[in-house]
Amino acid sequence: MDLGGTCSPDLIQRVARDRFGVRYLYPIQRFVVSNVLEGHPQIVVLPTGSGKSLCFLLPSLLLDGPTLVILPLRALLADQARKLQERGIPLGTLSGGMDPGQKARLWDELRHGRTRLVLATLESCLAAPNLAALRGCGIQHLVVDEAHCISEWGDTFRPSYLRVGALARAVGARMVSAFTATASREVLARIRAELFPEGEVRLVGQAADRPEIHYSVRPVLSSHEQDRVLASLERPLLVFCRTRGEAQLGARSARRLLARRSVFFYHAGLSRDERSDVERWFLGSRDGILFATCAYGMGVDKPDIRTVLHARLPGSVEDYLQESGRAGRDGRPAQAVLLFDRAAEVARRRRLADERSRERFDRMLQYAARSGECRRSVLLSLIGQEPVACAGCDTCDGGAVSAAEGEDMILRFARRYPRQFTPAETARVLSGTPGPDARRFFQDCLQGAGGLAGWTPLQVGEALRTLWAAGRLRILRRGPWKGKIAAARRRERPRLPSSP
């Protein structure tokens, strides 16, 4: 089947240059574009920043009929639409909130060939009236961008992603392509099963390695430690958070402690105008800090992000590669920093509802905990790819640490003064914060007093709770020393799941 006829390489390159401003297509991009024009269904795995979107946007201008692109997030849809409109490329959008008149104009433009490209959210396409209209538009090419969402989201909070194959059949798409930046063997198998249950499909892949990104993991004892870490990281800086509340609190705390106004937060709970305002600000900022949930990220193209910080472990290695891949899209050196609270993350694993989520999270735990191995090679091995020569990570640079900041200081204090101080008293002594009984503490010149100057008692207290949960500290429960702390009798750490 040939959808677009034979297009010479010169024509493809000319369209890339004239319509998209791209002077050179990589060989793998040419191959993917040729597959589209020749009608070969395909799963395309290209790392972030390698021109993945061009592989389906370019042929949309050469095919005889419309291309329908399914995008997972409104932020991503808006970002793609904005960039294409700036280049004068006609397109339509289909998402929630459109009035009947807007939709009627879209269907009319598609049927009469005035629009060849539609960017849409999956749920909007599956709505019965929209699905019926799409059937009559002669869709030539259905593109599922960020196709790993089929596996990552379909079984949890976006079950609509398990209907994407049915959508392809319902609209009568003559050819289907799936695109993603990272995918393990399991994710690829799921994409194939849902989108291509019958017939052959080409797998076009490239290593997920991003040599311009330096990877590091920092063990931490307190969630408040991210504030101290932030001050040392290069900006623009993107901080990924697990929840909306964490994003808001993190941004407000950072703005206060760093005395900076250029700190904002972003999540799906913001209004459309609020999200647009934050996107525009961050896109143009040279030193901004943005705290965001996964609502920001996939495919949103700010090329000069110098650092991506994760304050918590993402749910899977694929998620981490996608999100950390926001850094360095301009090809210049960047870094991906992961904060790792071992006890909290192991406890979080126990709360995961299903075995599949635990298996995916286990791989992320393995990455964070394997401090003696090349971070880059571990990441690639966990998604089934071959290791590469390391272009930069804390292990290979000799900068990896196995103990969190403050851990040795706290444990030395507990061993030196066993059964003498409560957690609250210990927090005040180590932070150097006077309390009502400060005279007793400091008149004896306690060794270690003020050793964690710069920490607040709240931060030290959280570190103490983390070490207690990890089995490194004891809080005595009975006798004359009830409520006092002591070092554990033997060194223990929360047990990690075995390597996959």
pLDDT score at 58: 95
Q: Which of 188, 205, 222 is the last residue of a domain?
A: 205
- Tell me which residue of 380, 387, 375, 40 sits closest to 185, measured CA to CA: 380
pLDDT score at 272: 79
Contact 173, 142 (CB under 8 A): yes
Q: Is residue 402 part of a domain?
A: no
Place of tokens 């004239």: 18
Say if residue 193 is in the same domain as residue 226.
no
pLDDT score at 67: 97
Its domain, for residue 116, covers 9-205
Say if residue 172 is in the same domain as residue 105.
yes
Beta bridge partners of 144: 70, 178
Q: What angle do CA 301, 208, 316 make, to 5 degrees?
A: 85
Say if residue 415 is in the same domain as residue 296.
no
Contact 482, 488 (CB under 8 A): no
Per-residue pLDDT in tens (0 to 9) along the chain, 500 residues: 344 445 656 788 899 999 999 988 888 898 999 999 999 999 999 887 778 899 999 999 999 999 999 999 887 888 889 889 998 999 999 998 889 999 999 999 999 889 999 999 999 999 999 999 999 999 999 999 999 999 888 888 789 999 999 999 999 999 999 999 877 888 899 999 999 988 789 999 877 788 999 999 999 987 777 877 888 899 999 999 989 999 999 999 899 888 878 999 999 888 878 988 998 899 999 999 999 998 786 656 788 999 999 989 999 888 898 889 889 988 899 999 999 988 888 888 988 878 888 888 999 999 998 878 999 999 988 888 888 899 999 999 998 888 888 889 999 999 999 998 999 989 988 988 876 655 555 545 687 788 888 888 888 988 998 888 878 899 888 888 898 989 887 655 555 565 44
CATH of the domain at 236: 3.40.50.300
Q: Is residue 2 part of a domain?
A: no
pLDDT score at 450: 83
End-to-end CA distance of the chain: 41
Q: Is residue 364 part of a domain?
A: yes
Q: What is the DSSP letter of 160?
A: G
Q: Which amino acid is at 466?
A: T
Say if residue 225 is in the same domain as residue 197.
no
Q: How far is CA 96 from CA 39, 126, 147, in A?
A: 31, 11, 20
pLDDT score at 500: 44
How does strand 473-475 pair with strand 485-487?
A: antiparallel
Number of domains in the chain: 3
Contact 178, 147 (CB under 8 A): yes
Q: How far is CA 495 from the centre of its chain?
A: 26
Say if residue 168 is in the same domain as residue 36.
yes
Q: Is residue 494 part of a domain?
A: no
pLDDT score at 443: 41
Say if residue 160 is in the same domain as residue 280.
no
Contact 335, 307 (CB under 8 A): yes
Q: Does an H or E element contain 415, and which?
A: helix 407-416
Q: Is residue 312 part of a domain?
A: yes
Q: Is residue 397 part of a domain?
A: no
- Tell me which residue of 328, 376, 45, 378 sits closest to 212, measured CA to CA: 328
Q: How far is CA 311 from CA 233, 250, 293, 340, 362, in A?
A: 13, 10, 11, 8, 17
Say if residue 230 is in the same domain as residue 167.
no
Q: Is the dihedral of CA 396, 307, 225, 368 positive or negative?
A: negative
Say if residue 176 is in the same domain as residue 68.
yes
Q: Helix axis angle, 27-38 relative to 9-20, nearest 10°?
A: 110
Say if residue 159 is in the same domain as residue 221.
no
Q: How far is CA 41 from the centre of its chain?
A: 27
Q: Is residue 224 part of a domain?
A: yes
Say if residue 116 is in the same domain as residue 244.
no
Say if residue 75 is in the same domain as residue 179.
yes
How many distinct helices (H) and strands (E) make up the chain? 21, 15
* Three-state secondary-structure class, residue 278: helix
Say if residue 361 is in the same domain as residue 442.
no
Q: Is residue 493 part of a domain?
A: no
- Asked if omega into 314 is within 30° of 0 (cis), the reply is no
Contact 352, 364 (CB under 8 A): no
